[in-house]
Amino acid sequence: MRICLVSETWPPDINGVAHTLSHLTNQLHSRGIILQLVRPRQAGYSKKQLEIQSELLVRGITLPGYREVRLGLPAPRRLLRLWQEQPPTVVYLATQGPLGWSARSIAQRLNIPVVAGWHTNFDHYCHDYHVPWLAPAVLNMLRRFHNGCTATLAPTQALTTSLAAQGFQRLTVMGRGIDTEQFSPRQRSLLLREKWGVDSHQPVALYVGRLAPEKNLALLEESYRVLLDSRPDMALVIIGDGPARQRLERTLPHAHFIGFVPHESLPSYYASADLFLFPSLSETWGNVVLEAMASGLAVVAFKHAAAAELIDHERNGLAIPPGDNASFHHAAVTLCQQPQRYTQLGDAARQRALEYRWPAIADTFLNVLQQAQENLHESAHPCSI
């Protein structure tokens, strides 16, 4: 079986899509699957992973104000040539942009089944970037894109239900996994805590993610302020970068801004904290929630995406009704004052995370792709009666 992955992001990019594709690639390679990759060329990085048999690098453009995000440009002729010479069994589209549209078109022309992943709520971003009037048009474009595919994989049951109600078809749930050996309480580092100026009795509140408008960072600012009012001795640690960083550094002068952390070092940062605050409502999943839980942290998040799937409120974390900012503040403040409680929640969170392993996620992925291939074969060779 040969699978072609089409994506606008790839390691060493730091985001949920690149993270998911990297783990899927490792799993598929270990099972003897031949892999192709189509992606925009990354500035200063062109090394091909050993797991990838063939790779097509296409032109891309950088989004204004977001240098780390590249948009792949259409490449119909090059895709046609590649897939005529090395036809994949199935194509997986991790992008709904121009590159994804051209890949879908060429695959359909060559009668190759196409499965798409719903990795980003682009229609929601219209509100975060102050163009809400664009949301209906974006949603309509996404619906046409996904309904033209053999199947669409979404990370949660709640999301597939929502998408189905909006006219999306042929949806399947595929969650996300976690390496629970890598992300583990055993990665706790006293050296990191010393750098943050805390001892074993002082709590550390952590945020990991892009520093951008869609992450609901105003609530993060407010929560950190009320936490400091309650516990002036606690540390606030922010990992990530983006267009909102400079403003946050001005409004939260006491926080430790780490920037991007290499993936191999990230587990120590998680495990060295005590609380994880995640105010975003833009996620389709939210790998950071699962990473925090696997690291033994008590998570405060809205009951949305991964948090809705993973957190049993008051048993292995705190899942707040979406949009209830006052309850989010209250949950964070009360939790930081109760070390025994956040330790218990963190222990239970770890146990929940142990249920999410990448081999099982890869099984779901392969089953859907194989079914897409079989459906195409059956439609091309209908049984005679």
54 phi/psi in degrees, rounded to 5: -140, 150
Question: Over the stretch 181-216, which tens digit does the pLDDT of each residue have?
Answer: 999 999 999 999 999 999 988 999 999 999 998 899
Are residues 146 and 22 part of one domain?
yes
Is position 287 within any domain? Answer: yes
Looking at the structure, tell me whether residues 339 and 367 fall in a common domain: no
In the structure encoding, which two tokens stand for residue 35, read together?
Answer: 């892999």
pLDDT given at position 296 = 98
Same domain flag for 206 and 331: yes
Statement to judge: residues 100 and 156 lie in one domain: yes
What pLDDT score does 100 carry? Answer: 95
Q: Identify whether 338 is part of a domain.
A: yes
pLDDT of amino acid 136: 78
**145 and 213 part of one domain:** no
CA–CA distance, 332 with 274 (Å, rounded to integer): 11
Clarify whether residues 362 and 375 are in a common domain. Answer: yes
Residues 88 and 161 in one domain: yes
- Residues 173, 224, single domain; the answer is no
Q: Is the peptide bond before 12 cis (omega within 30 degrees of 0)?
A: yes
Identify whether residues 95 and 232 lie together within a single domain: no
Are the CB atoms for 194 and 277 separated by under 8 Å?
Answer: no
H-run or E-run covering 40: strand 34-40
- Give the structural domain span for 208: 185-353
Distance between alpha carbon 142 and the CA centroid of its chain, in Å?
18
Q: Are 295 and 239 in contact (CB under 8 A)?
A: no
Are residues 116 and 153 in contact, defined by beta-carbon separation less than 8 angstroms? Answer: yes
User: Which run of H or E residues covers position 2?
Assistant: strand 2-6
Angstrom distance (rounded) from CA 289 to CA 293? 6
pLDDT tens digits for range 58-91: 998 876 655 666 788 999 999 999 999 999 999 9
Query: What's residue 48's pLDDT?
Result: 64
User: Can you tell me the distance from the alpha carbon of 302 to that of 311, in angstroms, rounded to the nearest whole number?
Assistant: 10
Q: Is 327 domain-assigned?
A: yes
Question: Is the pLDDT score of 382 beyond 50?
Answer: no
Asked if residue 227 and residue 160 are part of one domain, the reply reads no
Asked if residue 385 belongs to a domain, the reply is no
We report the CATH number of the domain holding residue 316 as 3.40.50.2000
In this structure, are 192 and 294 located in the same domain? yes
Based on the domain organization, do 82 and 144 belong to the same domain?
A: yes
Structural domain count, the chain? 2
Q: Is residue 208 part of a domain?
A: yes
